[in-house]
Structures are given as C-alpha cells and as structure tokens.
C-alpha cells in the first residue's frame, strides 16, 4: 500500500469519519474514494487538495514527502464561543484553553434523532477546529431543542423551514380570526425564537393539549410511475446520470443505496427477465396489480466486497428494476423488510390520481 493510501486511512480513522462521509466531503463517489484508500488508484490533484483541506494537513504530508512539524505541547481547544461551555470547563478545573469557534454547515439529513444530530454537529465543529495537529485536544458540543422526539429550531433543510413557517402562519391567521381561541402560544414563541421570527400572537388562552410544531420526517413513499417504494425519511433523492440514461437514487450516506429504473413495453404486458435466476434466495410474490421477484448476490466494486439485492416488479406494461447495495450482509434484513412494502397501483388508479391532482 502506498504512503498516500496509508495516511488517507490513518487520518480518516483518527477523525472518526466513514468512507462515505469523506467521499461526500471531497466530492467523489464512494467507489472512487475506496480505490484511493486501498491503493488501487491515485486521486487527482483537486481531490488531493480537498483531502488536505479536510484534515488540515499539507498535500506533501499526505504524499509522504514531509512529516508534520513537532509541537511544543498539546493544547485544549474549545470549539465554541458559548459562555456556558467556557464556564463548564472552568468548573472542571481547566483554565488554560483556546477558543476556536468554527462556522460549519449545520444542515443534517432528515430523520435523524436529536442525539444523533448533536453528535454529528459536534463532530463537524471539532474537525473544523482541529488545525494544529493531532496532539491537540478538541472539545465540541451542540444543543438542539426537541419536543416528543421532534427537533425544533434551526431548519435542517428548506423543507423544514417551509414546514415551520406554514405552522407559524396558520397559528397567526387563527389568532386574527378569533383572539379568544386557545392556541399553543408557548410552543409558538419557542419556534419563533429559534427561527429568528418576531412573535405576533396576541395574549390569549393557552392550549394545554400536546402540540408538535415544526417538521417530522416519517417513512416516505416514493412514486415512480405505478411503483410505490417506501424508504426511511432520512434518505435523500437524486437523479444519477449515467453515460447513457440514468437511475433514480436514494441514499442516507451510510445505509443501503437504492436505485430504480423503469421500462415500458411497446406491446403487451411486461414479464420477469432471466437476470435474477442465478441470485441467492430468490422469492416471488403477487402484488395487487402486479408481481414482484427478488434475490441477492455478492459483488465487488474497486476491490471491495458488497452485497446487492436485485428486484424486478411487473405492473401491466411496466417493468421496474430495483437494486439495494449494502456494505454489510446484515443490511439485507432491512432491505428485505422494505422490499416487502413495495406496492404498485393499477393504471386506472394512477390515471384517476393524476386527474385529481390536476383538478
């Protein structure tokens, strides 16, 4: 293994990052990144520079040309300007520390638990503050407000911001229509403060019932033609462009990567292909309006062993081809559960739905 590959792995492990996280941070595919870390390929200059910036080291250090300069002694870095966190360090007897409050992107994937959001944002701040070498001790923290498991506060996405704004607008509209109406005013003021919005509700009775402001991302059912694929809400969608054509792609950056292609017969109904005949554990079941067949096999991508489920769904003249690619065989259990939720709608129901949307 080359010195570059060794140091890429050392720095990634030292920073407690996953290969998928590093690949996303430097703008390459996971397969390309793995080929760099395994020593099968060398990254381009732009990728090398991005890696150096990510880990706050020089490109020469990554290439093994130079070693980091020796440090006089380790320092404690507080990655926050919070007076409360400075106070907590003082209460622990730590008086000598340097404050380095980095400005990091605080958007996170939808569907994460409050604890996971705090952990991820704290890690980002710690990595950004770690500029003086591996000997320094960096402490970072973050705070989120949650109500019944629902994270309130700084919008994690444009969709979150729109959801919060719509709820606040509705409450203000209701108060204008009837000022005596009981409303969740405390929760309203909290969300306004977190969103940087000036409260506009007049004084009035407080609604004592449970109120869940903001935006919650539950499992989402995605429609591709007649196909209905339900995935966890944390999964993000993108169109993956290929040299010829492309695929619908969903990923959460850690779990199985889902892809869907859709085909339509010019004449007659679609049929299953022979492509799944050599897979392990092939199963077939009938669906209302169609049928489904799936199995799994091992594949290798840039020297890495992966596990891929393949699924075909037929619905009238349409054939849908789904894949779910996993890094671990344990992930196939979740894939099987999600494939079990796949459904199709009949062409008649699909036409009626489209017509209703138009109306």
Q: Give the whole-angstrom CA distance, residue 63 versus residue 280.
A: 42
307 vs 302, 328, 340, CA distance in Å?
14, 7, 18
Q: Give the whole-angstrom CA distance, residue 132 versus residue 121.
A: 20
Known active-site residue 60: no
Q: Give the whole-angstrom CA distance, residue 215 versus residue 218.
A: 10
Q: Give the whole-angstrom CA distance, residue 31 versus residue 12.
A: 16
Helix axes 185-195, 158-177, angle to 10 degrees: 140
Give Cα 77 to chain centroid, integer Å. Answer: 28
With tokens 């090398």, the residue in question is 48
Helix, strand and coil percent figures for the chain, each rounded to 5: 35, 25, 40
Instruction: Dig out the tokens for 349 from the structure.
Output: 């129901």
Helix axes 30-37, 3-14, angle to 10 degrees: 120
Q: Give the whole-angstrom CA distance, residue 258 versus residue 294.
A: 14
Helix boundaries (H) for the chain: 3-14, 19-26, 30-37, 45-55, 59-63, 83-91, 114-129, 158-177, 185-195, 332-339, 347-358
The answer to whether 320 and 271 are in contact (CB under 8 A) is no
186 vs 191, 192, 205, CA distance in Å?
9, 10, 11
The catalytically annotated residue of 60, 105, 142, 274 is: 142
The catalytic site residues sit at 142
């Amino acid at each position: 293994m080359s010195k570059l590959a060794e140091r890429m792995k050392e720095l990634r492990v030292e920073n407690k990052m996953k290969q998928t996280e590093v690949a996303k941070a430097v703008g390459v595919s996971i397969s390309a990144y793995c080929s760099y870390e395994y020593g099968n390929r060398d990254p381009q200059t732009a990728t090398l520079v991005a890696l150096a910036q990510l880990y706050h080291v020089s490109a020469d250090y990554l290439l093994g040309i130079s070693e980091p300069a020796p440090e006089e002694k380790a320092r404690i870095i507080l990655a926050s300007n919070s007076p409360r966190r400075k106070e907590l360090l003082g209460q622990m007897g730590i008086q000598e520390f340097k404050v380095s409050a980095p400005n990091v992107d605080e958007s996170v994937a939808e569907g994460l638990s409050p604890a996971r959001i705090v952990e991820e944002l704290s890690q980002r701040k710690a990595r950004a503050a770690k500029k003086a070498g591996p000997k320094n001790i960096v402490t970072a923290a973050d705070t989120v407000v949650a109500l019944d498991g629902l994270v309130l506060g700084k919008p994690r996405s444009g969709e979150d911001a729109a959801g919060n704004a719509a709820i606040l607008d509705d409450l203000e509209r209701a108060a204008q229509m009837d000022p005596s109406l009981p409303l969740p005013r405390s929760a309203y003021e909290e969300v306004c403060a977190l969103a940087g919005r000036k409260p506009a509700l007049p004084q009035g009775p407080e609604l004592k019932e449970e109120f869940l402001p903001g935006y919650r991302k539950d499992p989402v059912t995605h429609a591709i033609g007649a196909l209905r694929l339900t995935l966890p809400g944390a999964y993000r969608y993108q169109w993956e462009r290929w040299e010829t054509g492309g695929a619908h792609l969903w990923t959460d950056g850690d779990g199985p990567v889902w892809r869907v292609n859709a085909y339509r017969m010019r004449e007659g109904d679609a049929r299953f292909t022979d492509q799944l005949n050599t897979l392990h554990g092939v199963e077939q079941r009938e669906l209302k309006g169609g049928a489904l067949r799936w199995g799994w096999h091992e594949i290798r991508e840039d020297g890495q062993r992966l596990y891929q489920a393949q699924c075909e769904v037929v619905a009238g003249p349409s054939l849908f081809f789904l894949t779910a690619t996993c890094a671990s065989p344990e992930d196939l259990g979740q894939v099987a559960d999600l494939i079990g939720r796949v459904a199709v709608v009949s062409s008649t129901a699909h036409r009626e739905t489209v017509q209703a949307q138009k109306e």
